[in-house]
Amino acid sequence: MKPLGSLLFILLAVVSVSFLSKSDAVVSSERIAADTILYPDEQHFKNMQQLTFGGDNAEAYFSYDGKWLIFQKTYAKEGIPCDQMYVGKIPTKAGEKFVPKLVSTGKGRTTCGAFMKDGKHVIYASTHLGADSCPPVPDRKKYGNKYIWPLYDSYDIFMADLNGKIVKQLTKSKGYDAEATISPDGKKMLYTSTKDGDIDLYVMDIKTGKERRITNLLGYDGGAWFSPNGKKIIWRASRPKTEAEIKEYKELLAEGLVAPTNMEVWIANADGSNPKQVSTFGQANWAPAYMPDNKRIIFASNHEYKRGFPFNLYTMNEDGSNLTKVSRDKGFDAFPMFSPNGKKIVFCSNRNNGGTRDTNIFIADWVE
Per residue in 90-140, pLDDT (tens digit) is 999 989 999 999 999 999 999 999 999 999 999 999 999 999 999 999 998
DSSP label at residue 171? -
The per-residue pLDDT for 16 is 34
Q: What are phi and psi of 331, to 5 degrees?
A: -120, -80
Closest CA to 340 of 107, 138, 182: 182
- What is the structure's pLDDT at 14? 40
CB 222 within 8 A of CB 201: yes
Which among 114, 127, 319, 349 is positioned nearest to 223, based on CA atoms? 114
Does position 32 have pLDDT exceeding 80, yes or no?
Answer: no
| Sign of the dihedral through C-alpha 348, 350, 351, 356 | positive
Q: Is pTM, for the whole model, over 0.75?
A: yes
Q: 144 falls in which pLDDT band (50, 70, 90)? A: confident
DSSP for 205-232? ETTT--EEE---SSS-EEEEEE-TTSSE
Listed in order, strand segments (DSSP E) in 153-277 are: 156-161, 166-169, 177-182, 188-193, 200-205, 211-213, 221-226, 232-237, 257-258, 264-269, 276-277
What amino acid is encoded at 164 in this protein?
A: G
Q: How many CB atoms lie within 10 A of CB 332?
A: 28
> Domains in the chain, start-ordered, CATH in brackets?
9-366 (2.120.10.30)
- The torsion angles phi and psi of 250, rounded to 5 degrees, stand at -70, -35
pLDDT at 251 over 70: yes
Over residues 211-239, the pLDDT tens digits come to 999 999 999 999 999 999 999 999 999 99
The per-residue pLDDT of the chain, averaged, comes to: 91
SS3 327: coil
Span between the terminal Cα atoms of the chain, in Å: 25
Distance CA 243, CA 249 (A): 10
pLDDT digits (tens, 9 = 90+) for 34-55: 689 999 999 999 999 999 999 9
Strand order through the sheet with 324-325: 285-290, 297-301, 312-316, 324-325
